[in-house]
Each structure stands twice: as structure tokens, then as C-alpha cells.
Amino acid sequence: MKPPRKPARVLHVIDSLHLGGAQEVVMNLATRGNRSDFSHEVATMHGHGVYWERMAALGIPLHSLSPHKLLPWYLPRLAAMLSGGRFDILHCHLVASNIFAKPIGALCRVPVIINHDHTNDAYRASQRLRLALDTFSNRFATHLIAVSDSCRQFLIEREHLPAGKISLVLNAIDLDRYAPDSCDRESARRTLGVPTGVPIVAGVGRLNPQKNFSLFVEMAVHVRRYIPDAHFLLAGEGPEELLLREKVREAELTGCWTFSGYVADTRLVYRAADALVMPSLFEGLPMTLLEAMAMRVPVIASALDGIAEVVTDGRDGFLVSGQYAGDFAGRTIRVLSDPALAKRIGEEANGTVAGRFSVGRMTSQVEDIYRRFL
């Protein structure tokens, strides 16, 4: 009688465990898959971050390779982790991890090395050195996963990878968790400290240049001219927080604005909101988009990358071309002023996500890739 087969050991390496969609993908892969076939651990290049506690609570083995990104201790520590055949699969996420971890994995003879491409990073496209390093490191990948067709096309057209080396695996969410009525609207507003009897326009994400929340502030000025009681909620933390607070003060919006900081349970934000605005400069396939749509929140978003692959303008959300605050404001005012339209958009959005973006589908596709190359 053959002894039972041990699960294949997977090490996910990611730049950090701060707020982000890639971190949500890693957590879902590590907890929602076939545990009899695969055993997952997660290594962050530096520090801990908000996802550290969430993953630890779920029992995921975690490793921090350096206390700070400017201390390259992650290079020898990752090599030590990968040496000796401890892991069968090295799964790399985000640019820095993809650049550094794949060559180290190849040197340590990890059998399968997966590159997960989460976004069409504008800096990767515009900085020749970073693009060259990313292209070079992909030589060491057994296979690549793209979260949207635009990410896949970037790898083919800009990094000259053969199409057969790349699989499209759409991001996904836990549809049971993000059910439309998973929490009460009024209690969600009270918990977040926002008014209970006024329209709420929300933004969710890391407060960094990519998310372009400066335009969110400009948009709010336009919206208040037509809907004077509108209130704005920005959920997240990041390097631009002080800048955004100053912009809100200068725009005289302090009295109708809430900075909630990091919200561990984003369902509270979606349940409290009448509309979600995403003025990002670049994206792959943002989890925030899928979560909000699943909870029937009308989304007004930049018409770019993976967002435009999900949203059909005017049917299950609104897409805005360009970066003019008035255009975002116009769609937002329309949603807030027409409850029937908002309800229809929300219901269509929920149907779109329910049909294509389940966690079970995503983990199954990734595990099929693991098995193919093992």
C-alpha cells in the first residue's frame, strides 16, 4: 500500500502585506484551495502590514524577510528558505518580488516558478530599467498568470513573451462574504462615523498616487454644488494622507468629509455608500471594484485596464475616460439623484460579478496550473 502523498509546498513571495488587491489574492489562494494537494506559506519582502494579522489569524505560516525595504536582507534570507528543496512551487507577486525572487528561486532549483502579474504598473512601463529587469526575470518563470487581458497583452507586447507561456486568471472574491445584505446599512454608517441621513460617496484604497484620490477631492467640490448634503468617505491609509487632508481643508470640505483610515471589513464601507468612485491612473483587476459591485454599489471608475474588461458603461457601472473631475462628478450626481437608476446599476453589477468572479473558480484555475507544471 502506497503511503499518502504529501501536499506540494507552495511559497508565495510578495513585496509587502500592506493594503492591496494582490494581498487579497494571496490570502484567498492560501486558504480557499485544496489543502490535501497544496500547502501554502507566505513571505513578505519587508515588514508586516495590515494583512499580516489577517493571514496569521487564518493559520497561514508567515515570514518577514527584512524589517525595511531599503535593507536587502530579503536576498540571503529568501535563498536560505528556498535551498534544500523545501518548496515545490515558488509563486511571486508584484514587481519587486517578481524581479528578485524568480532568479533566486532558479538558483535554488525550485521545480516550478510562477509569476503573477497583478497590474499594468505605469512605472514599469515608463522606467526602462524596471521594464528591462522585469523582462529579464521572466526568463526564470516556468509560467505566468495575468489577472486581466490587458495585463496579458502588456506581457506579450512590451516584454515579448510567448502567448502560450501566460494564462489569464481573473481576480475573484468570496461571494458569500460580499453578499449585498451581509451587514446593516445604518449600523455600518454609525460604525464608520458618517451621517445616517445623507448621500455617501466613498473611495477605497491605498492613499498613493496610483489611486489618484486628489481628483476624488476635486470631484467632491463639483458634487456639492448640486447635492449640498452629500458626504464623502475615504477608506485607506498611505503616503498621500497628509496631502489629501490639506486638499480637503483648502476646498472647505472638512465638514462633509470622513477619513476612516484602514477599514479591515470593507463591507461596512460598501454598505454605507450610495456610490463608489475609482479615479485610478492604472489598475490590473482591482478587488475593490469586484467587492463593491457584488454588494450592489454603483461604481464610477476610470475607463482603463481590467476595469473596462469588467464594467459595461451605463449597464453595470460607469466608465470615465480621461482625468477630468467634472466627468466623474457628473456620473456621481446622476447616481445620487436617480434612485431607480442606482438600483438597476447595482443589481446588474451584482449579476456580473456573481457570474464570473468566484474564489472557487480562481483557486481551481491556479491549482490546475500548479499541477500542469509539477
Q: Three-class SS string for 283-342?
A: CECCHHHHHHHHCCCCEEEECCHHHHHHCCECCCEEEECCCCHHHHHHHHHHHHHCHHHH
Do the domain assignments include residue 177? no
User: Does a structural domain hold residue 313?
Assistant: yes
Q: Which domain holds residue 271?
A: 185-356
Q: Is residue 159 part of a domain?
A: yes
Q: Same domain for 167 and 193?
A: no
pLDDT at site 121: 64
Residues 39 and 158 in one domain: yes
Nearest CA to 335 among 349, 352, 324? 349
Task: Mark whether 142 and 196 lie in a shared domain.
Answer: no
pLDDT of 240: 97
Low-confidence ranges of the chain (pLDDT < 70): 1-4, 121-126
Query: Is there a single domain that holds both residue 217 and residue 362?
Result: no
Give pLDDT, residue 5: 75
What are the phi and psi torsion angles at 109 (to 5°)? 60, 40
Does 3 map to a domain?
A: no
Q: For residues 198 and 156, state if they share a domain.
A: no
Q: CATH number of the domain that 222 lies in?
A: 3.40.50.2000
Are 343 and 253 in the same domain?
yes
| Same domain, residue pair 331 and 208 | yes
**Residue 179: inside a domain, yes or no?**
no
Instruction: Indicate the average pLDDT of the chain.
Output: 94
225, 140: one domain? no
SS3 state at 242: helix
Q: What is the pTM of this model?
A: 0.88
274, 335 contact by CB (below 8 A): yes
Residues 276 and 327 in one domain: yes
Alpha helices in 138-184 (DSSP H): 149-157
Domains contained in the chain, number? 2
CB atoms under 10 Å from CB of 265, counted, come to: 13
Is position 105 within any domain? yes
Same domain, 213 and 352: yes
Together in a domain, 144 and 19: yes
Q: What is the pLDDT of residues 41-100, one digit of tens each?
A: 999 999 998 899 999 999 999 999 999 888 899 999 999 999 988 999 999 999 889 999
